[in-house]
Every structure is written in structure tokens, then in C-alpha cells.
Structure 1
């Protein structure tokens, strides 16, 4: 099961995220007047609940790249802004696009990204940490989706908020998702450097035959 500290963080984060979105949309009545947004909230809570059944943690393990902790602050700041601003611009009809069909597309993208984010967490088990760290008994996983891309969870991390932005028809939300590339790429580089130092030629060979996020592109 998920570590208590990680569970508290995930649960509190989910509540704050939804409260900000509902407030920005103009309150509960305004929010639930859009069925896709209700589905978005249900999906968000379901994915959060699903994370409680993983072994995700915040352990620094045997060795951690502490210099990479800045990305957690960046993720947090962009995340809070993304919770509020897309819903607010939706209510103000500022830089918005499409209608209810677009909202449903956003919900589908959000769910797909959430599943892609969560699935590798189940695969990695206790090796998955919110920090860039080598865990006790750490071994490379190179099968399944990891045989194609090295960072499927980070791809899900980008697709998930993109779906959120689309559900609120928010151009600014999409821009915020693009900004997530900065800490995400920083995180990937730090993680790959640590894994290379730990596993040497084994990781070098794995890296040579796979892509980081998008097969054949990056």
C-alpha cells in the first residue's frame, strides 16, 4: 500500500485541486451544470483513490540526487495554477475553444493520461519514489511499456493536465501544460544520470534501444 506520507500528500493535493477548480468555475452549482466536468472530478478522485493501492513513496533510498528537488516545487506551483486558471478562464470565456464535445474529449485525454501515469507506479512498486533516488534492491524494468519508452509515467504526467485543460476549453491551460516540460525534462535528465551511474553499461544499452517519452521521436 502507498506510504502514509505519500497518501496524505496525494489526498490533500486532490482536495485542494478540486476545490480551486470548483471555486474558479463559479461555485458548485456552476461546476455541476457541465456533465463533462462532473465526470472529470469523478475520474480525478478515482485515479487518486487508485494511487492509494500502489507502493509509491517519498523515500530517498540508498542514494538520491537532492539537487533535483527543485522540480517538486515547480510541479507544485504549476499544478496549483493549472487547477484554478483553466476553470476561471472557462467561466470568463477568455481564450476558450469548442463546446461540450471538446470537454468530453478533454475528460478522455485526462483519464488516459492518468492511467498512463499510474500504471508504471504499480509496475515499479517500492522502487517508485517521488524523489530521484536509488532504492534498496533497485533493478531496471525493461519489459512491457518500458521496452518502448523509458519514462511512461512522465508521459502520463504531461497528458493528464493536457486533458484537464481541454476539459475546461482553456488555451492558457494548454500553455501551462507546455511549461511542465521544463521540470519534467529536468527530472528525466537527473533520473537518467543517476541510473547510468548505478547500472552502467546495462542502462546505456537499454537507453540506446528505447525512447524517452515518444517512440522514435524523443
Structure 2
């Protein structure tokens, strides 16, 4: 029965991701209409595959490997999943139309330094990292957590460098 509830949780996260894509598409159109320029698009398809793989891996590992819910780990990890979602939507709200799943900088707009961005430069990626290990570990899908975390570390190395370059160029 806990596998079914976990599947509902993963489904809810998938719906949240779809909502992000709707916001990102709307924001991309807004940014491009104002002269926004996309950079770092080479890694984007890998990012889509990796994040889709996270959700699929969570379900596959829990169902195929018959992973159990371990309350001492599962409940704290669920709390981290919820907190990561809250942080992600705080980032989306603070960045407003400048938020996107792609790297797009609109010339002339000031760099956002409020909200979580006053504390750390890339808080959305903190949410991604936390969700990437916490969501699988809610139901002991440790292999998915490990594989996603390692691959995501490589991706974020490329992504943060590309984003920092784009921001530095735009605000130079």
C-alpha cells in the first residue's frame, strides 16, 4: 500500500514539474519579446532527460525492487521534498517573469538579489539538489538517489557556469 501512496507523491511532483514548464514557456515568450537571449542550450536536453529519469527511476526502483517505506528516513525525506518545493516556488515568485528552466537573460533588467537570492546565488539549484536525493529516499530508492545526485552534480557544474557567464555578460 505504501508503494501506491509513494506513486501518488511522485505523480504530484510530476504535475508540479508540468506547472513549471507552463510558467517557463510563458516566461520564455515574454523574455524573447523583450530581446532576451538564450544561452547554454546545449545541456538542456540532458537536463530534461535527467529530471524525467529521476521521476521514472523513483517509481521503477520502488516497484521493481520492492523497496519498503522506512519511517525513520522516509518522513524526514518527505519533509525535505516539501521544503524543496517551497524553496523552488519562492524562487519562481521572486524572479517573476525572469524565472525559466532555460538560461535567458533580458538586456536592461537588473539582477534579482531579493528573497532567497540575497542569501545564496542559485537557491533554485539547492531545491533541485535536495529534491533529487530526498524524493527517492522517501521510499528507500537509494540507487535512484545516488545516480541522480552524481549525474546532477555534473550537470549543475555546467549549468551554473553557463548561467554565471550569461549573467556576467548581461550585467557587465
TM-score (norm 1): 0.63
Mapping 1:150-169, distance limit 5 Å? 150-169=121-140
Q: Structure 1 residues 188, 143: CA separation in 2 closer, same or farther (over 3 Å shift)?
A: same
Summarize deviations over 1:149-205 as a string: whole Å, max 9, x none: 0111111122122221111311211121231122222111111111111212xxxxx
Alignment partner of 1:179: what SS? helix
Q: Structure 1 residues 149, 178: CA separation in 2 closer, same or farther (over 3 Å shift)?
A: same
Q: Structure 1 residues 127, 42: CA separation in 2 closer, same or farther (over 3 Å shift)?
A: same
- How much has 1:73 moved relative to structure 2? 1.0
Aligned equivalent of 1:120, options 71, 77, 91: 91
RMSD between superposed Cα atoms in Å: 3.1
Q: What is aligned with 1:72?
A: 44
Q: For residues 19 and 76 of structure 2, what CA distance do their matches in structure 1 show? A: 22
Moved more, 42-51 or 177-186: 42-51
Alignment partner of 1:58: what SS? helix
Q: What is aligned with 1:40?
A: 9
Aligned equivalent of 1:108, options 66, 69, 79: 79
TM-score (norm 2): 0.78
**Which contiguous aligned blocks of 4+ residues in structure 1 show a shift greater than 3 angstroms?**
45-56
- How much has 1:71 moved relative to structure 2? 2.3
Residue 62 (structure 2) pairs with residue 90 (structure 1): yes
- How much has 1:70 moved relative to structure 2? 2.4
Residue 106 (structure 2) pairs with residue 135 (structure 1): yes
Runs (5+) with no aligned partner, structure 1: 1-28, 201-218
Q: Structure 1 residues 136, 86: CA separation in 2 closer, same or farther (over 3 Å shift)?
A: same
- How much has 1:136 moved relative to structure 2? 5.3
Alignment partner of 1:133: what SS? strand
